[in-house]
């Protein structure tokens, strides 16, 4: 599939950077799958993802640091996530910085809330980079291993590429839409 290969080689890392700035598990997993197929380099996928995730989280942290409580008060939908954050962060600050991106719905709100806390910028930055590297490695290699498993199951997956990548993208988008709808319904009650 020459069009897909060309798109991934020219724009894949830029798309990955943008996708990893926010909650972008699907983007990272697809990049891992593309790396398995030889369209991207898995080390570069992990590096770009780590940079994107770190920059995104640093932005939200600093927004919380400088806009603080006023920013959070204008987002009442984030209140349940912030309340969960405060309980978790009070008990396990370092572990929470390392792993908040793994908790659905906590990535943006958690980073903002940590910005409003007393955690130092240096401490947050160091553990945020480490956490982003762990996240990027797990999700990126997960996509890579998915490609390996699909190859074992289907044989040469190159002949299936024209529907594998779009199907996984639609599936990831569907999960994101479902989660968003579920979160909005929960916020209304």
Report the alpha-carbon distance of residue 29 to residue 42 in Å, rounded.
Answer: 11
pLDDT score recorded for residue 154: 55
| Digit-coded pLDDT (tens) for 153-177 | 555 555 555 666 666 667 667 776 7
pLDDT score recorded for residue 25: 81
Other C-beta atoms lying within 10 Å of the C-beta of residue 27? 24
Report the alpha-carbon distance of residue 141 to residue 31 in Å, rounded.
Answer: 9
pLDDT score recorded for residue 151: 63
pLDDT score recorded for residue 42: 94
| 170 phi-psi bin (left φ>0, alpha ψ -120 to 50, beta other) | alpha
Report the alpha-carbon distance of residue 125 to residue 135 in Å, rounded.
Answer: 15
Report, as ranges of residue numbers, the positions in the chain whose pLDDT lies below 70: 1-9, 23, 104-105, 148-169, 171-172, 176, 187, 189
Nearest to 132 by CA among 99, 108, 172: 99
Instruction: Note whether 28 and 20 are within 8 A (CB).
Output: yes
Report the alpha-carbon distance of residue 80 to residue 185 in Å, rounded.
Answer: 13
pLDDT score recorded for residue 1: 47
pLDDT score recorded for residue 40: 87
Report the alpha-carbon distance of residue 117 to residue 89 in Å, rounded.
Answer: 9
pLDDT score recorded for residue 131: 95
Any long-range contacts for 5-8 (C-beta under 8 Å, 24+ apart)? 5/39, 8/34, 8/39, 8/40
pLDDT score recorded for residue 76: 80
pLDDT score recorded for residue 162: 60
Query: Cβ contacts of residue 139 below 8 Å, gap of 6+?
Result: 25, 28, 29, 32, 49
Instruction: Note whether 100 and 110 are within 8 A (CB).
Output: yes
Q: Where are the domains of the chain?
A: 2-188
Nearest to 57 by CA among 138, 142, 136: 136
| DSSP, res 38 | T
SS3 content of the chain, % helix, strand, coil (to 5): 90, 0, 10
């Amino acid at each position: 599939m020459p069009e897909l290969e060309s798109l991934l080689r020219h724009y894949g890392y830029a798309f990955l950077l943008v996708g990893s700035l926010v909650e972008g598990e699907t983007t990272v997993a697809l990049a891992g799958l593309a790396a398995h197929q030889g369209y991207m380099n898995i080390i570069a996928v992990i590096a770009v993802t780590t940079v994107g995730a770190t920059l995104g989280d640093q932005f939200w942290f600093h927004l919380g640091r400088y806009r603080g409580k006023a920013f959070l008060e204008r987002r009442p939908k984030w209140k349940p996530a912030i309340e969960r954050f405060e309980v978790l962060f009070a008990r396990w600050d370092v572990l929470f910085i390392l792993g908040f991106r793994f908790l659905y719905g906590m990535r943006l709100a958690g980073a903002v809330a940590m910005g409003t806390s007393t955690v130092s910028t240096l401490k947050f930055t160091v553990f945020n980079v480490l956490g982003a590297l762990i996240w990027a490695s797990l999700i990126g290699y997960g996509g890579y291993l998915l490609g390996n498993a699909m190859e074992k199951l289907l044989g040469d997956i190159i002949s299936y590429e024209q529907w594998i990548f779009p199907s996984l993208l639609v599936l990831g988008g569907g999960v994101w839409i479902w989660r968003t709808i579920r979160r909005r319904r929960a916020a209304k009650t």
